[in-house]
Chains A and B, each alone.
Chain A
Amino acid sequence: MSNINNQKQIAISVQGATHYYKVYNEDGTVGKAIGIEGIDLDIYQGSFVALVGHNGCGKSTLAKHLNGILLPAMGKVEVFGLDTANKANIFEIRKQVGMVFQNPDNQMVASIVEEDVAFGPENLGIPQKEIVERVHKALEQVGMLEFAKRTPHKLSGGQKQRIAIAGALAIQPQVLVLDESTAMLDPQGRKEVLEVAHQLNKQGMTVVLITHFMEEVLDCDHVFVMSGGHIVDQGTPMQIFANSKLLDEVGLKAPRTVELAQKLKNAGFDVDDTTTDAKILGGAVCQNLQ
């Protein structure tokens, strides 16, 4: 949990952003489907924000607006005051907002780890010596330094995704967007990636985590719940979990620990239903039983 309250500078501001996708109907006509519609949100600098929702709720579409890969048809997106719709800003925006995608295999540009990480700084035209330093630092930050000379293909999903994060870090962004970066990973890999994300957040990085795993939002500062291209709820993780009726409607579920705590409370146990720690919960149950 970082300092969201005492540092109120807005990193990314989305104002009424709307995006439609073209749909090619079977009868040959072209229709449109809502990607996102009228999205308003502010992401504060240094915060750890989660965007959750079921498949097809528009969370990835929204993520792609955050660094100008997609542009809103209506409304606007500003990154540190720079409008993504202005082509002249795009380069600067992408320097500020690093993005890591879902499939680690599809974002590797080189067959050697350090060369892949160097891709970003090379694009920025940074002198060779500084690239080496940046690559070293980025790999160190994600704990993959010993793999610098290896080929990414032979590594685990979690390791590959950490390399992808290093690739984004080497550009030295202010914001890191993880666009379902944990979706294809096993539990171990997900843990690795989340640990790195939280570590970076502690060092001051603004992190936007897009996911459909509710366990992952536990330690976030602020959660946005999306459904059908709209933001249907937002608040701290506990506020979100408490509204189980809405979560049900959008096809999500509170993490098991939270669910269990809520059930125990309903059954008359005196437990804190805002805890997410299984041990605290177990302790509380024991005390109740004694």
Chain B
Amino acid sequence: MFRDVTFGQYYPKNSFVHNMDARIKLVLCLLFMVGIFFVQSYVGFALVTVFLMVVILASKVPLKSILKSVKGIVVLLILTAMLNIFFTKSGNVLVSWWIFTITDEGLIYASKMLLRLVYLVIGSSVLTLTTTPVDLTHAIERLLAPLKVIKFPVHDLALIMSLTLSFIPSLIDETDRIIRAQKARGADFDTGNLFQRAKAFVPILIPLLVGGFRRAEELANAMNSRCYEGATNRTQMRVMKLSWRDLVASLVCIIVFGGIIVVYAMKATWQPILPWMYF
């Protein structure tokens, strides 16, 4: 039943983006996510489109896998578009029917919002498609390291993430086993209304939960036996090294998104002389 569930969506390939340092990828992805909201004009979106195309080409991930993630938010996209179209009252009215009015500004605003959301999802899925969950965990731990100064439990957080990742497969296996065991005793998961089906899952959740506690204790014993004493005096085997790729990628991203932010900030002075930049 849960066999085909893949957690994370790493797409193994040997590419420029795959070989980048996970920390840089994560930071650049955040920069991209913030930057996309400063894009005002179609000219800007054209630039971002070119940028994304270059990134996707450099990642060697097929476009199909990337667009799959967009499919997941189609409902959200439609909803956002409708809200933006119907609730923008300014601009020239194009169509007016009952309480609904559609204006040209509403359409423009909605289309830009759609582009932003789609690009947001594409950008973040490039990160998850080219970075293993383990690498991401390490990256988060290293990036949050400065927070140790204010006693933020960075190590504990990273350990929890790493343990969760390593336990997902065995939890899926166990769920599978319990479902089969309950089915063998005549449990029915496939008929009845939503409420009945939800109720049918209680006999799965209880053994899973009980098993979870047993696991947790065994894991705690195993970790203690291997001299675990929290974050104190711990070292790490993995070294994260920056390469020329990270430098190149960072420079490109800073130029593109730095430019976008400058254009946004200079709107008042540049719009009269360079109107195309703000179309």
Q: Name A residues whose Cβ lies closer than 8 Å to a Cβ of B.
A: 64, 67, 69, 91, 94-95, 97-99, 101-103, 105-112, 114-116, 118-128, 131-132, 135, 151-153, 164, 167-168, 171
Asked whether, in the complex, the Cβ of A106 is within 8 Å of the Cβ of B134, the reply is no
Asked whether, in the complex, the Cβ of A111 is within 8 Å of the Cβ of B227, the reply is no
Q: How far is the CB of B176 from chain A (nearest CB, A)?
A: 13
Asked whether, in the complex, the Cβ of B225 is within 8 Å of the Cβ of A94, the reply is yes
- Residues of A within 8 Å of B234, CB to CB, are 122-123, 125
**B156 near A: Cβ within 8 Å?**
no
Instruction: Please give the number of chain B residues whose Cβ is less than 8 angstroms from any Cβ of chain A in the complex.
Output: 28
**B151 near A: Cβ within 8 Å?**
no
Asked whether, in the complex, the Cβ of B235 is within 8 Å of the Cβ of A103, the reply is no
Asked whether, in the complex, the Cβ of B222 is within 8 Å of the Cβ of A122, the reply is no
A120 with B226, Cβ < 8 A, contacts A109-B166, A111-B165 known: yes
- Residues of A within 8 Å of B229, CB to CB, are 91, 123
Asked whether, in the complex, the Cβ of B134 is within 8 Å of the Cβ of A122, the reply is no
24 CB < 8 A contacts A-B? A67-B225, A69-B224, A91-B229, A98-B226, A102-B218, A106-B215, A108-B166, A109-B163, A109-B222, A110-B134, A111-B169, A115-B237, A122-B234, A122-B236, A123-B227, A123-B234, A128-B235, A128-B239, A135-B237, A151-B169, A152-B166, A153-B170, A167-B226, A168-B225
Task: Please measure, in the bound complex, the distance between the C-alpha atom of A103 and the C-alpha atom of B225, giving whole angstroms.
Answer: 14
Asked whether, in the complex, the Cβ of A168 is within 8 Å of the Cβ of B226, the reply is yes
Task: Please measure, in the bound complex, the distance between the C-alpha atom of A171 and the C-alpha atom of B169, giving whole angstroms.
Answer: 27
Q: Mark B161-173, 1 if CB is under 8 A from A, else 0.
A: 0110110011000
Asked whether, in the complex, the Cβ of B166 is within 8 Å of the Cβ of A125, the reply is no
Residues of B132-183 whose CB lies within 8 A of A: 133-134, 159, 162-163, 165-166, 169-170
Q: Name the residue on B nearest A95 (C-beta).
A: B227
**B6 near A: Cβ within 8 Å?**
no
- Residues of A within 8 Å of B162, CB to CB, are 109-111
Asked whether, in the complex, the Cβ of A69 is within 8 Å of the Cβ of B237, the reply is no
- Residues of A within 8 Å of B169, CB to CB, are 111, 151, 153
Asked whether, in the complex, the Cβ of B222 is within 8 Å of the Cβ of A126, the reply is no
A105 with B170, Cβ < 8 A, contacts A110-B134, A110-B162, A131-B237 known: yes
Q: Name the residue on B nearest A93 (C-beta).
A: B227
| Max chain A Cβ within 10 angstroms of own Cβ: one of B215, B219, B226, B235 | B226
A109 with B236, Cβ < 8 A, contacts A98-B225, A120-B227, A123-B229 known: no
Q: Name the residue on B nearest A92 (C-beta).
A: B227
Task: Please measure, in the bound complex, the distance between the C-alpha atom of A128 and the C-alpha atom of B235, giving whole angstroms.
Answer: 7
Closest 8 interchain pairs by CB?
Answer: A107-B222, A125-B233, A118-B237, A106-B218, A153-B169, A111-B166, A120-B226, A99-B225
